Amino acid sequence: LCFDILRHEEFEEGCKATCNGPYDGKWSKTMVGFGPEDDHFAAELTYNYGVGEYRLGNDFLGLTLQSSQAVSNAKRLGWPLTEVGKALYLAEAPGGYHFYLVDKEQPPNDPVQKVCLAVSDLQKSTHYWSSLLGMKVIERHEEKTVLMGFADTQCKLELHNIGGTVDHGTAFGRIAFSCPREQLADLEALMTKENQKILTPLISLDTPGKATVEVVILADPDAHEICFVGDEAFRQLSQMDPSGNALLDKAMAEDKSDDWFAKHNKQKASA
């Protein structure tokens, strides 16, 4: 997909804001993207040591990026592609996550166009994300989808009405945004006033050797987890790490996951 490794971090115990899901053990996160997290979308790849599989739900419907290079890479490597529209291909990552690849030259800005989440009530979810969280509605398609964003230059959020219950499986993903630190308490107060769910009230999170950040974690009407992080400290935490690739390679070598899967008689996820 042509993502860069932006940074890699190891943790000896579970995150007190459940950043790695409801798991108490050792875990790591690897941030990947097409440029600095200040002005690019980044995906957080969370790895729980000793967890061999996750049951995917229907909550995360895919990520769309514009990159003819990614399409040609997939074809060259024999990675399965399904043509689902004009110059649009579906690729499935190991474990089942969907990536939609627009077969056009990668733009000079962020090629990640949108993230798509399933919702059970489009009107209710649109109200939550726009009226409460302040996202701007960009496009509506009847009662099926709504495209939203905080800014025209940023990755967009697409809400897709599935007309039924949203199942989060056991993978426990979340979406995150940075905002001025001073807004976090106001956001928490607003959600309390509106009787909306707050999963984690304002809390400080440590990363070994890096900046401590403050976060508030919410849940929308379909229990999609939404993390707001104070931007000032996050700008320090999210600096691109030139040693990120080396740290990831070292962690993978030490993990010996092939041995773990063989020992537990489990099948490793593949394309």
Average pLDDT, the chain: 93
**pTM score of the predicted model:** 0.93
Contact indicator for 83, 89 with CB cutoff of 8 Å = yes
Would you give the distance in Å from CA 123 to the centre of its chain?
A: 23
Please tell me the predicted confidence (pLDDT) of residue 270. 66
Per the CB < 8 A criterion, the answer to whether 117 and 81 are in contact is no
**Two tokens at 39?**
């002005």
pLDDT digits (tens, 9 = 90+) for 155-192: 999 999 999 999 999 988 899 999 999 999 999 999 99
Q: CA angle, 149 as apex, 139 and 145 as ends, to 5°?
A: 35
Across the range 229-256, mean pLDDT stands at 93
